[in-house]
Structure formats: structure tokens, C-alpha cells
Chains A and B, each alone.
Chain A
Amino acid sequence: MGVRNTVSMTAFVSSDRQRSTPVLRRLAVASEPYLYSAPAVILIVAVMLAPLALGFSYAFRDVKLLNPLSGGFIGLDHFRALIDDKTFARALKNTFFWAGASVALQFTFGLILALLLNRPFWGRGIVQALVFLPWAVPSFLSGLNWAWMFNPVIGPIPHWLFALGLTDAPDNILSDPHNAMWGPIIANVWWGIPFFAITLLAALQAIPRDLYEAASIDGANAFQRFKSITLPFLAPTIAITILLRTVWIANFADLIVVMTNGGPADRTQIVASYIFTQAFRRLDFGYASAIAVVLLVLLMAYALLIVLLRQSLLKKA
């Protein structure tokens, strides 16, 4: 920005001086960036920030959609109820498992895919389009599609598992309380591998080629090259994508709502889907907002942890 822009603007203003007053002109120029950004900012404040504040107030009020007499201030009652809420405790535990397993698998398979695609070969463009396609599939459809794949009536997976001797009968994994969570996780991995692969591939392609050549000449084998060139170069991208993606996936309820609706017996309920269930099915907006406030506090703690971690790492370096 800076000098050149100011020069041109002065030229502009002075050439116009005869026609309009300099004060008005200057005001118009000064207000320009605000006019450009105002519509977006107003909309964000009205449709995102205002509801967020309203949600905070609901957390301390008794707000039930079907009860016109509700709406009164009840203090911390929702939070007291939350402490004894077994489903909430389970949802919290499930959220960690859901986010941890999904991110770990998405990242591992995404990194392998990125490494495979980082090598030139015939038809790479088409292959890339095909393996990234799941990312374009709407999340509700991914959920339904995998729910059907797991359905013994219509899908092949239960029969394959049975044929391999992994299960005693071709049953639906989504209705098995012990393994149901793997259903949405597999769907999530299928859907999310492209995200990691695309991001990591971009980072891989930014590594200077001659580093590898120099290392080869010095006699480093493929694994050594990966360990001392590729990984250090990728590390910042890996750290940032994993940290941000974990938050995003922890809050990603679509697949669970579509595939299991939190069941069987809340075994696949995560905090985000629990908020949605309270608001959408029970129409208990107050309680849903109280859970949301707790979730927000947890996320802020996580963000703070990352910032602190980053600072201590930077100090060391």
C-alpha cells in the first residue's frame, strides 16, 4: 500500500478540486473502504454475532419452543443439570474419540495419497480428480451413502465382514452399540482424505527439488530423504491443518445426525449432535444453548493451549 497509492490519490483529488469541495471529496475517499466492507460486516453481526449473544442469554433462561410461558431467568440450573447428565458425559467422551480417530486416519491416508500424487505419472490429472471427488459429495449424501453401504439389506459391507469371519452374522454395524461409532468415522475418513491430501500436496510441491538431488548425491536413501527433508518442510502445514481440522471435525455433526442420529443408546452422540438433538427434537433451546456455552469454553481452552504451545515452541527455536 503506502506511498504510491497516496501519490495517485493526491493527483486524483487535486484534479477534481475545481468540481467539488475538498472536504467532501476527502470524506468520500476516507469512507470508501468502509462502504466496501459494510454490507458483509453488517450481515455477519446481525446473523452470526447477535444470535451468538442471544444464545448466551438462553443458557441462563428457561426457553422451550412449545411452552409460551417459558423464557424466565433460571440462573445456573441448566449447568447444574448438565453435571448430572449422563448423555452429556458420554457425548463429551465420544467427541474426543470421534475427532481423534477421524483426524488420525484422515491425516495418515491423506499424507500417503499426497506422497503418491507428488510423483509425476501418466494420467495424474484424471487420477487426482477421481480421488478428490468424495470431497465434492455433499456431507448429507456421504452419510446416507455409507449408511446404505452398512445396511445388510442393500449394502455389501456386512456381507463382506461376515465372509471374512470378522462378524458372526451380517448385521448392521450402525446398530451395534459397541462399534456403531466406526460407521460415521469411516464415512468421515472417506469424505475427508481429500482435504488433507490437497493441503499436503500443495505443501509438498513447494519443497525445492534440488534439495532431494543434493541428498541423493550425498548417498541418502529414500527414507532418510523423507525424514530429513520432507517432514521438516511439511511440519508447519501439518501442525496447522491438524489443529484446525480437529476443532472443525469435533463440531461436525452432519454425518452423525444422518447416519445414526446419535444412537444406538447415545453411543454415537457427540456434543455438537447433542446440541442439535436438544434444539431440533426436544425444542429445548435453553438447555441446547447451555451445552453450546460449555462447548465454546472447551474450544477456547483448546485454542489457548495451542497458542501457548506455539509460543513455547517458538522460544525454543
Chain B
Amino acid sequence: MTRRFILGTVAHRLAILVYIIFALFPLYWLLKVSVTPNDLLYSEGVRMWPSRAGLEHYIFVLEHSDFPKFFKNSVIVSASTAFIVTILASLAGYALSRFTFRGKYWIVVLMLLTQMFPLVMLVAPIFKMLSPLGLTNSLGGLILVYVAFNVPFATFLMQSFFDGIPKDLEEAAMIDGATRFRAFRQIILPLTLPGIAATLGFVFTAAWSELLFALMLISGADASTFPVGLLSFVSKFSVDFGQMMAAGVMALIPACLFFLLIQRYLVQGLTAGAVKG
């Protein structure tokens, strides 16, 4: 019995170790190549750690490339998207959580519908619609598109957070003479702060990762987001692996930070989205 127990425990820990290695190895490799000096890149191909490491690729990328600009564009787009989506989704999620009204069913159907069809279908028509408005090749256009794409999922997420707060709270405030909107703003929203932070995190991550619409809508380097910049870099100078991977590590940093922020809410986020990554 005890021997079987020990064997089982050892097998369990080993299996977990295998998962950790599988999950982290590609990221480790990214980091490793990004600190490998160019002259060792090819001669020490499969070594686990280069005999000499340095930050020269990072310095080059920060000083002589467009990546700081791409990074800034991505931060602007993702942060604005997260901010606007969270406001709109709080309002709509509150309506879905607290009111019964005519048409509510159809709003839910509409939002579920948007989660069902492939967004790639919209690449061409959205380009055609935005281009006469001057919203192609602009960060504003990208923000508009990302906000719309993320609102349905965020609304369901915010609704689930509001559902967890007792209705008595704002009702008491309303009996005391506050309008519902004031009760919502001053009593309910502060209580949902963790939920708001999680929604901000989910939307920021989604906007930070978006690729296809950014590729389609952005053509110039001035409005390129990080993924677009990195991909054009890959196709242009495909030999500068060290620099590419240094840029890749830069793209990873905000994603990891926001992952820490939303880690506690992963389950809620994934089930609210149901079909979203």
C-alpha cells in the first residue's frame, strides 16, 4: 500500500514536470536565442545555453528599429479598447443582470450570435466600410473594430459579476432617494472592481493578440501594431533571428503581466466567453 502510494506520487510529480517543461520550453528557447550573440547563433545551434550571453539584440531593437513605436501603438490600441469595452460592457451587463425588459432576449441572442460566426468573414466588408471614412490605416479604426468584437464577451462576463452582488444594496439606496444610475455608479461598481479589473485584463490581452484585422486594416509602419510590425520584420529581414526573438520577448511581457492580473478569474472568463479563446 505505502509503496504503491509512493510510486503513484512519484509518477504524478513526474507527469507534472513533463507538462511544465512542455509549457515553458518554447518560451525558454525564445529567451535563449534573444540573448545569444550573432556569432554564436549558428555555431551553437542546439546548445541549451550559449557560452556567452548579452543584451545586444535588445539594445539594437530598442534603439534602431521601429519596435518601440509598434509597442506604443499596441499599448494605445489595447488600452483604449479595454477601457471603452469595460465601460460599455458594465452598462450592458448591468442591464442584463438587473432588468427584465422587452427585447432583452433578442439582445442576448444578438450577442451570442456574434460569438458563433467566424470573424474572418468580416475582414473584407469591414475594410470596405472603414476605408471611405478614413479609418483604415488608423489606430482609431482598429480600436472601433476591436471594441465591437469584444463587447459581447465582456458583457456576459460583467453580467456574471453583477449577478454575484445582492440586489438589496442598490434598492436600499434607491429607497433613500438615489437614482438608479447613481446607485449603480457609487455602490455597485465599486463592489465589482475585481470583476472590472478582470474584464480589462481579458480585453487587453485579446486586443494585444489580434492579428488578422490589424494586417488587413493597417498598411503603413506609423500605425502598425506589434504583431503587424513583427510579421513584416519576419518577412523582410528573415536572417536577424536574435532581433526578432528579442522583439518577441517584448511582445510577451505585457501579455504575461495581464495574465497574472486575470489568473484568478480564468474560469469565469472562459465560461463567459464559451467559444472565445
Contact = CB atoms under 8 A, between A and B. Distances in A.
Nearest to B103: A34
B105 interface: no
B171 to A, nearest CB: 4
A198 B245 contact: no
6 contacts: A37-B96, A52-B125, A148-B241, A240-B274, A253-B212, A257-B212
Interface in A240-260: 240, 244-245, 247-248, 251-254, 257-258
B30 A140 contact: no
B277 A139 contact: yes
Nearest to A197: B19
A203 to B, nearest CB: 9
B130 to A, nearest CB: 9
B155 A155 contact: no
Given A41-B110, A253-B120, A288-B123, A130 B33 contact: no
Given A44-B111, A254-B211, A276-B120, A55 B19 contact: no
B23 A130 contact: yes
A2 B147 CA distance: 33
Given A36-B91, A43-B148, A52-B122, A8 B174 contact: yes
Given A153-B42, A289-B124, A137 B252 contact: yes
B151 interface: yes
A292 B89 contact: no
Given A145-B26, A148-B33, A280 B123 contact: yes
Contact of A154 (B41, B119, B152, B211): B41
B145 A47 contact: yes
Nearest to A138: B209
Contacts of A32: 95, 99, 180-181
Nearest to A195: B270
A190 interface: yes
Given A33-B99, A47-B148, A276-B120, A129 B263 contact: yes
B155 A40 contact: yes
A223 interface: no
B277 A195 contact: yes
A292 B211 contact: no
A196 B38 CA distance: 39
B116 A132 contact: no
Contacts of B23: 130-134, 190, 193
Given A36-B91, A41-B107, A299-B116, A130 B149 contact: no
B98 to A, nearest CB: 8
A92 interface: no
Contacts of A164: none
A164 to B, nearest CB: 13
Contacts of B260: 129
Given A51-B126, A198-B267, A276-B123, A140 B29 contact: no
Interface residues of A, number: 98
Interface of A: 1-2, 4-5, 8-9, 11-12, 15, 29-30, 32-34, 36-37, 39-41, 43-52, 54-55, 58, 63, 65, 112-113, 116-117, 119, 121, 127, 129-142, 144-146, 148-149, 153-156, 159-160, 190, 192-193, 195, 198-199, 201-202, 240, 244-245, 247-248, 251-254, 257-258, 272, 275-276, 279-280, 285, 288-289, 292, 295-296, 299, 303
B172 to A, nearest CB: 8
Nearest to A280: B216
A250 to B, nearest CB: 8
A240 B193 CA distance: 30
Contacts of B121: 52, 55, 275, 289, 292, 295-296
A155 B29 contact: yes
9 closest residue pairs by CB, A with B:
A136-B259, A47-B148, A138-B209, A251-B118, A36-B95, A33-B99, A51-B125, A285-B124, A40-B92
A1 B100 contact: yes
Given A40-B91, A135-B259, A292-B120, 16 more contacts: A12-B175, A47-B147, A116-B16, A136-B205, A141-B255, A193-B23, A202-B271, A245-B275, A251-B119, A251-B120, A253-B212, A276-B212, A285-B125, A285-B127, A288-B123, A296-B121
B86 to A, nearest CB: 11
A273 to B, nearest CB: 8
Nearest to B85: A40
Interface string B30-41: 100100000001
A43 B143 CA distance: 12
Contacts of B216: 276, 279-280
